[in-house]
Chains A and B, each alone.
Chain A
Amino acid sequence: DAGITQSPRHKVTETGTPVTLRCHQTENHRYMYWYRQDPGHGLRLIHYSYGVKDTDKGEVSDGYSVSRSKTEDFLLTLESATSSQTSVYFCATRTGSTNYGYTFGSGTRLTVV
């Protein structure tokens, strides 16, 4: 398999608490992405990374931060979780050309109560 592991798979947290989601890959892919998926919106890009310690914002980055200290790990942090951040979060990677497509993890379902 593609070797992308997201953890946790499910999480319920309270409003105002910080939350960190982890994406771990064993493919040595350079590019990594965090998307959120909500009904009617498809997948929306939160942040992405094009190398260790190199990250950039996507279209819905407010309230989120990321870190990539190693090639294999890409962390997404919700600094102070809100109910609007209830969603399914997907990590994706790609190696070189976009033509080869993205490989996605199985997702993390986050509920903020």
Chain B
Amino acid sequence: GNSVTQMEGPVTLSEEAFLTINCTYTATGYPSLFWYVQYPGEGLQLLLKATKADDKGSNKGFEATYRKETTSFHLEKGSVQVSDSAVYFCALNYGGSQGNLIFGKGTKLSVKP
């Protein structure tokens, strides 16, 4: 079946460090891929998305590239800030009869000043 695997946390970084959160997926066909962010006490917000192979999603300094050959969608940011502390979820979605979002288990990021 379809699934998403992301690196386990928590991840603790110093301000201005480079961030990578790994995400791989198992799916047939061509899903769309997403990263969501959940700040403390809040719901989920869409951070970025890519809807086909080789697309790069980007937002707020975060980037992720849809790699079909490695079934990956790793999240990166060149210089994290304290305000980036949150839980990050990788997810996939097909639409249609299989349209429900499939989430990874989430990765908690803490950025220290």
Q: Do A and B come from one complex?
A: no
